[in-house]
Structure 1
């Protein structure tokens, strides 16, 4: 029986088709291996491994052709590893390893984004390059830095050279186990420091006309123009959709869009690129068809495809060329090239080629949520289209107008459900939230975006230089207002969004493999991926998680029990809180009112605090968090683990059997967690000091 099953599975393998589809998976596996290893290997070791894999592949092809794909798989995995390491070496630039004091910074403005609703004097985020930082040698000067400020004049544009006093700090690493590593992302963006300004900006030189800031300056001009002709927050969303700038969207609007399942509308991705290129293609083709001679003698369809490709590329560059936008433009570009060559347009092979290109050029994108979400969503939609979707569309062409409209909304509902299921493990792993009524919200919002907001926005962009964009901006504003109304209504429905514990890395990888089986395999074996996904997610919920987290500075401590989180001393920053809640799920107890005194209990976890220390009990496990070294002796006798946050406490101090964790240990580990193991409570640092990577702090 087992041999028959293996033969049946092997018979479903279609070499010419499946090698192409699984090639980006194998290349991505090599990229993932690079990011998973704890120490940076020597480049010659990686190159040697690739040379060995290449030789093995050639030998297998010559001697044992049936095993050719096994050799190809090994080659692609080692190639992915080497590409990721090569990219890491290519973008290497200095990063701060410790905060600076107040220092004078001179640099060239690369980008300016408004982060609140005041277009003139609001808070801005300024990215500077070509830096000169006082008292910092050139060899240690970052390539770029990002500053939060309220001091930059509203008329400063990208390309100008400015000087300012500021405090800088290194980009933050992960703040929770398996958490998002912003420092790694900053490394690949060549962002060496972040900080805030302490005084007014001084203009040193006027803006130049170089191409690297031209799109940034144009984006800034468009954002300012929209902000003066449209009320807030509609102007913020219009800027996000038309120019890719999302920083000025209010937090409450972001939360409503996220909880309603409409947050994907803000990311320049497949929907937006398809609308921009599609509208350009069909409008130009229609206009050229109005001249019969041109329609008969010129290839107007191919001309329209070329124009649509150019407009799409311009739109992507204007929006900042994010990973989802690049992926979408590559996919749409291949579709348009297929139109020019009179070939079939969109298929899984097309998407596989796009994935290979993205991974080869930007291998670091693999570990980002945007890459994973966008490719999972598009893969699911193409699989549906290649199955029953194509037949459904063929039948729809022969239906009457009412049935076509009904079919359009049915398509939105079905694709929303499919995309939601395909991206569910990814959303759980990265964000720990699931939207329940996304189908309802998308059925209302996608038509508004597709037929009103984006087409009117395109017309406004074309007419903006001539001052004729006003009516179209009003139409954009109306469409966004309706979209926000839908978002607010759906987000406030009962149980609209559930905060679940994030999916640990192991179950997450297994669930993704199950998704790949369902989408890429042919035959009955593909359905093995369904129980694989369900089982991995179910197991992920049962994996024990830490019940206590402390940040790197020892100023913020959170305890979790039975779906509730309590802050012991003060409410942490939004970034810290969102990452901690993503790990645990559930809700915050008395948000904004941290526990100062008195007991708190939820489930098996109990907390009691005074001015000197907090005692936490989880079942029989006892943990003491000490703020004053005078309480150490007493807490060491009571607790199994003592976390001393007082910097005056000695590094090694505890009479008895209690495990002692000093403030130095917390800082060296960039924060830490208390996890309940079979042997008792254990302190686990967020950062392992044995990890040595180019983006690590040492």
Structure 2
């Protein structure tokens, strides 16, 4: 036997042969050290299990990078200011750096790469939103002002349904030495032919800063205007006067869109004998101009779950691309010489891509349309390369592209609705049961039609289930029969309305478009009839009060888990989704709501009734009712605050008790005896007034008056806990705040 290779080998071997319990070192070894090794072993097994999980799903990982970027962008909007944004970015960098430097276990290389990639994408989302805000954000004017403007018209939008024209102009800030962009409404009676892009006008107008939400979580036009570069909004007081005509004709595309919208409305009205909502919707589908659609028709479409048909997005771009692709494939196949020498899918995909870009430009190139165009181009590229036409990877790439250029779209409903719908559709049709249902087989025509109708119904139900919580979160109302309405509306739009509209425009080149315009108009009348019928059914509209953000985030996280993974693991997404829906179910309206200007106040009781200080229709009035989960167009369960049980009201104030709290609410601006007011404040828990209250007015819980509302915007209050939420939180340092 040779000598051992390691000096002292015999001693080591003998030592290793001794049982652990008999080794002298074991008697002195701390038990905590043993537990530490056991914990490390358990952690190692968890890490290796995660590694195996990710390694087995190479095609399911990329969409989560888009989700990480989405989370980073959302956190930028959610966190209050630069310090928190820097901390988030630093933490992401620390995680990525530690993964790169210290985690060298080759057995967990995929897990390490995933953690580093997620950290980088979260940081990228936050930084891109921050950069976008710094580059394009525009500070609003300081205060409302009435002034005479010398302005250059940049954009013109006709809104016949509201009897006005909306102009975006470049002018001088009346309060500071800087150039600004402002949005001004001109009454239809004051519209003039010279109000075109490029003209310089003089007009006396009232300008205000872009408005903040009436209540917390409401529509935030100030944020939208910040990213759109709008510093002021207002309306003309006098008719505008021409100072200098446009040096050239309006930009070709802008003029073409307006002329196209007028032509479509006129043609449909002439062919059908009436100028109704169908003509306005036809103009919307052709040019993206929604200005002629009145509010009642738009609400009926939304309550029927058909509002997506009024926004040029994926459905419309997909229909145009599909029609062009199919037509080119069938037409080119008629020529054998061409079909044998050319890859027809490549040519048809190129034609579909051109059609997508042209339709996007023709309809105004809004962000939702651009988003749909990007997705369509990716699908055409996949078809040209012989790859799967629509997959989660393509959706993720489209989402990352949009967030790269328009990160502010993440917090808007349009982005959320469109991607949620597409994700739900792709996830459903990638599932084995759905593939079996839509697979081609030896079936008769009736069976194929029935299977297609069933597949469309199931798709509609799944999309509605995915979108309804998001719709309720943003708008507090949703149609519950949308799947049934879309079962007819989507095929009607894609197979009749859109093709007929395209044929009508082509035939109009030779003056023969009347029959196609007639078909388009009648099909649109049927579409509007479906919307009005469905929205009028009792119980077809679900109304809910304001939904807490945590509930929406839980639902979205569960939905993404269900949709983006495959196999049994996706079932775990049901838990957070159901938890989020439980938050929707238990949501209750705030006890007290005060609109931003202080003139509109609402109190909700436990019996589902709401009491208003002023029950006059208007934007603030409607926002209060929507926040509480009531139909703004209905007076059911809406009463005056003077009808509150036990309320003691006079011309100036109302004194009432709710949840064992004493509320003193001002009814109008008036002079009140100072000593009496101070005594009433001291005896009250909450005092609400639209004017400034004396400094020595000190209620026990909260004083909500004009200075507070000016600083914080509209507020809601839970009277039991005393928690107050404001539309403009105190620590929020985003530019538009």
TM-score of the two chains, using structure 2 as the length reference:
0.85
C-alpha distance in 1 between matches for 2:97 and 2:357: 39
Greater Cα shift, 271-280 or 215-224 = 215-224
Change (3 A) 1:302 1:687: same
Greater Cα shift, 328-337 or 365-374 = 328-337
Residue in 1 that maps onto 2:76: 34
Change (3 A) 1:540 1:633: same
Change (3 A) 1:390 1:440: closer
Q: Offset at 1:47?
A: 7.3
For residue 630 of structure 2, the aligned residue among 577, 582, 586 is: 586
Q: Offset at 1:501?
A: 1.8
Change (3 A) 1:316 1:438: same
Residue in 2 that maps onto 1:217: 255
C-alpha distance in 1 between matches for 2:580 and 2:711: 33
Q: Offset at 1:10?
A: 6.0
Does residue 111 of structure 1 match 2:162? no
Contact conserved, 2:306 with 2:482, CA < 8 A, in 1? yes
Q: Which string of whole-angstrom CA distances, capped at 9 and with x for unpartnered residues, describes residues 610-643 of structure 1? A: 3111234323122111234526246325421112
C-alpha distance in 2 between matches for 1:354 and 1:209: 37
Q: Offset at 1:384?
A: 0.9
Q: Which string of whole-angstrom CA distances, capped at 9 and with x for unpartnered residues, describes residues 10-59 of structure 1? A: 64434532331200011111111111111234998887667656544543
Q: Offset at 1:394?
A: 5.4
Does residue 677 of structure 1 match 2:720? yes
C-alpha distance in 1 between matches for 2:184 and 2:49: 56
Residue in 1 that maps onto 2:690: 645
SS in 1 for 2:128: helix
For residue 664 of structure 1, the aligned residue among 690, 703, 707 is: 707
Residue in 2 that maps onto 1:74: 119
SS in 1 for 2:320: helix
Q: Offset at 1:288?
A: 2.2
What does 1:454-465 align with in structure 2 at a 5 Å threshold? 454-465=498-509
Contact conserved, 2:166 with 2:183, CA < 8 A, in 1? no
C-alpha distance in 1 between matches for 2:114 and 2:173: 56
> Quick check: which has more Rg, 1 or 2?
2
C-alpha distance in 2 between matches for 1:585 and 1:471: 45
Q: Offset at 1:162?
A: 3.3
Change (3 A) 1:634 1:412: farther
Q: Offset at 1:434?
A: 2.4
For residue 248 of structure 1, the aligned residue among 287, 292, 303 is: 292
Residue in 2 that maps onto 1:566: 611
Q: Which string of whole-angstrom CA distances, capped at 9 and with x for unpartnered residues, describes residues 644-669 of structure 1? A: 3234x423424x74643332222222
SS in 2 for 1:424: helix
Q: Offset at 1:390?
A: 5.9
Residue in 1 that maps onto 2:240: 201
What does 1:323-472 align with in structure 2 at a 5 Å threshold? 323-388=367-432, 391-392=435-436, 395-396=439-440, 398-472=442-516
Residue in 2 that maps onto 1:612: 652
C-alpha distance in 2 between matches for 1:201 and 1:692: 37
SS in 1 for 2:276: coil
For residue 164 of structure 2, the aligned residue among 116, 119, 123 is: 123
Residue in 1 that maps onto 2:356: 312
Q: Which stretches in structure 2 are left out of the alignment for 5+ residues?
A: 1-41, 270-274
C-alpha distance in 1 between matches for 2:300 and 2:390: 33
Greater Cα shift, 582-591 or 565-574 = 582-591
Change (3 A) 1:540 1:406: closer
Residue in 1 that maps onto 2:36: none
Residue in 1 that maps onto 2:135: 90
Contact conserved, 1:132 with 1:138, CA < 8 A, in 2? no
TM-score of the two chains, using structure 1 as the length reference:
0.90
Q: Offset at 1:475?
A: 1.6
Residue in 1 that maps onto 2:592: 548
Residue in 2 that maps onto 1:187: 226
Change (3 A) 1:543 1:154: same
For residue 528 of structure 1, the aligned residue among 567, 572, 591 is: 572
Residue in 1 that maps onto 2:30: none
Residue in 2 that maps onto 1:693: 734
C-alpha distance in 2 between matches for 1:653 and 1:93: 38
Does residue 237 of structure 1 match 2:272? no
Residue in 2 that maps onto 1:166: 205
C-alpha distance in 2 between matches for 1:136 and 1:467: 54
C-alpha distance in 2 between matches for 1:465 and 1:134: 46
Residue in 1 that maps onto 2:583: 539
Does residue 489 of structure 1 match 2:528? no
Q: Offset at 1:355?
A: 1.0
> How many equivalent pairs are there?
678
Q: Which string of whole-angstrom CA distances, capped at 9 and with x for unpartnered residues, describes residues 511-540 of structure 1? A: 111111111123323212113212222134
Does residue 23 of structure 1 match 2:61? no
SS in 2 for 1:569: coil
SS in 1 for 2:80: coil
Change (3 A) 1:146 1:6: farther
Greater Cα shift, 510-519 or 108-117 = 108-117
Change (3 A) 1:590 1:34: closer
Contact conserved, 1:105 with 1:166, CA < 8 A, in 2? no
SS in 2 for 1:17: coil
Q: Offset at 1:594?
A: 8.4
Contact conserved, 1:160 with 1:205, CA < 8 A, in 2? yes
C-alpha distance in 1 between matches for 2:433 and 2:495: 22
SS in 2 for 1:102: strand
Q: Which string of whole-angstrom CA distances, capped at 9 and with x for unpartnered residues, describes residues 123-148 of structure 1? A: 222222xx223745442x32343435
Q: Offset at 1:458?
A: 1.5
Q: Offset at 1:273?
A: 1.0
Q: Which stretches in structure 1 are left out of the alignment for 5+ residues?
A: none
Contact conserved, 2:69 with 2:125, CA < 8 A, in 1? yes
For residue 133 of structure 1, the aligned residue among 158, 166, 172 is: 172
